[in-house]
Amino acid sequence: MTNPALPPLIVLAGTTASGKTALSLALAEALAARGVAAEIISADSRQVYRGMDIGTAKVTAEERARVPHHGLDLVDPDQPFSVADFAAHSSAVLDGIAERGAVAILAGGTGFYLRAVARGLAVDELPWDVEVRAAVEASLIADGLPALVAELQSLAPTRAAQVDLRNPRRVVRAVEMARLQGDAPLPKPRGYGRAVLWLGLTVHQAALRERIQVRARAQFDAGLVDETRGLIARFDPSLTSFSGIGYAEALAVIQGSLSLEAAVSEDARRNLSFARHQATWFRREPGICWLEATSKLPLEDALAATEEYLADSR
């Protein structure tokens, strides 16, 4: 059954630097040219932070003026933000998009965010406890990430296999849940409420590696170090938000532990590793229509799939 209170939903998934942002903009504008309004929801767990623009490859003010965007600049870097927070934000945004008679484009590389919205994960049913979370975060500071990973693998091996063990924020949340309920399975997805079109972008490995390297260089050339310097003047540099790719390397430049060239190289290396993790996640995601995006933006194929989906969902 189709819930008329929900807008049609198009998901654009793929690894970092695969072209999701460019395609979301192009697709929204192509739909607008055909009389169909579209709005974009960013599904990127780092773009929710205000002031973290260059290192997260956030859309520019000019791009936001072209197409309405949501999911950006929601909290400061020192404020907690969970997948449940993202799901709640997206639910309110989707209500507004439906009222405006528009189509929603959920675009990003944070697979858990995409799944939470488009599959209807019952994230509000996941256990949480403020004191336990504080204790886990204290363990991270005192003992380091490897110790927390080892605890997670001991308490909840099934969940540990599904978590990005290099992401401190994900590990902290998973350990919090494991301390509360062990390795209990996650609640079953509720579904979105109507059909969803999943599109995924694939880029050949060599081309993706080059894109990532070029982007890393461009971000540092665009002022990533200065952006980071301005942020740590206001926020504690030990925050987990500063452990993200790009900001950790820029922070190392500021602190003198990495040269600029070494920082660019490390940024690219970490993004390549991250892309491999994302690819593994999305291979497990069912129902994705994969579009080849190595040599050009697959706008025509994306638009054809979208028009067919919209015709079927009426």
Q: Give tens-digit pLDDT for 19-63.
A: 999 999 999 999 999 999 999 999 999 999 999 999 999 999 999
Indicate the SS3 state at residue 23: helix
For 147-163, write each residue's pLDDT tens digit: 999 999 999 999 898 88
Question: Which residues fall within 8 angstroms of residue 94, CB to CB, at 6 or more apart?
Answer: 6, 7, 9, 41, 104, 117
Residues 181-186, mean pLDDT to the nearest whole number: 88
Task: Out of 32-41, 124-133, 296-305, pick the least confident.
Answer: 124-133
| Confidence label for 169 from pLDDT (cuts 50, 70 and 90) | confident
The class that CATH gives domain 127-181 is mainly alpha
E strands, the chain, in order: 9-14, 38-42, 69-70, 103-107, 196-202, 288-292
Residue ranges covered by each domain of the chain = 9-124+187-312, 127-181
| Confidence label for 1 from pLDDT (cuts 50, 70 and 90) | low
For 57-91, write each residue's pLDDT tens digit: 999 999 999 999 999 999 999 998 888 899 999 99
pLDDT for 240: 84
Indicate the SS3 state at residue 49: strand
CB neighbours (10 Å) of residue 43? 26
In this structure, what token pair is assigned to residue 8?
Answer: 């049609």
What is the C-alpha to C-alpha distance for residues 198 and 313, in angstroms, rounded to an integer? 14
Fold matches, 9-124+187-312 and 127-181: no
Amino acid at 70: H
For 213-260, write each residue's pLDDT tens digit: 999 999 999 999 999 999 999 999 999 899 899 999 999 999 999 999
pLDDT for 7: 97
What is the C-alpha to C-alpha distance for residues 144 and 166, in angstroms, rounded to an integer? 12
pLDDT for 128: 80
What is the C-alpha to C-alpha distance for residues 27 and 286, in angstroms, rounded to an integer? 22
Backbone angles phi, psi at 103, to 5 degrees: -100, 140
| Confidence label for 188 from pLDDT (cuts 50, 70 and 90) | confident
For 90-108, write each residue's pLDDT tens digit: 999 999 999 999 999 999 9
Strand order in the sheet with 196-202: 69-70, 38-42, 103-107, 9-14, 196-202, 288-292
| Confidence label for 2 from pLDDT (cuts 50, 70 and 90) | low
Q: Under CATH, which number does the domain 9-124+187-312 receive?
A: 3.40.50.300
pLDDT for 291: 98
For 191-211, write each residue's pLDDT tens digit: 999 999 999 999 999 999 999
pLDDT at 4 over 80: no
Region at 57 (left for phi over 0; alpha for psi -120 to 50; beta for the rest): left
Tokens 């490897």 — which residue? Answer: 146
What does pLDDT average to over the chain?
A: 94
What is the C-alpha to C-alpha distance for residues 18 and 109, in angstroms, rounded to an integer? 9
In this structure, what token pair is assigned to residue 299?
Answer: 């706008």
What is the DSSP annotation of 120-184? T--GGGS---HHHHHHHHHHHHHH-HHHHHHHHHHH-HHHHTTS-TT-HHHHHHHHHHHHHHTTP
**Beta-ladder partners of 42:** 107
What is the C-alpha to C-alpha distance for residues 45 and 111, in angstroms, rounded to an integer? 10
pLDDT at 279 over 70: yes
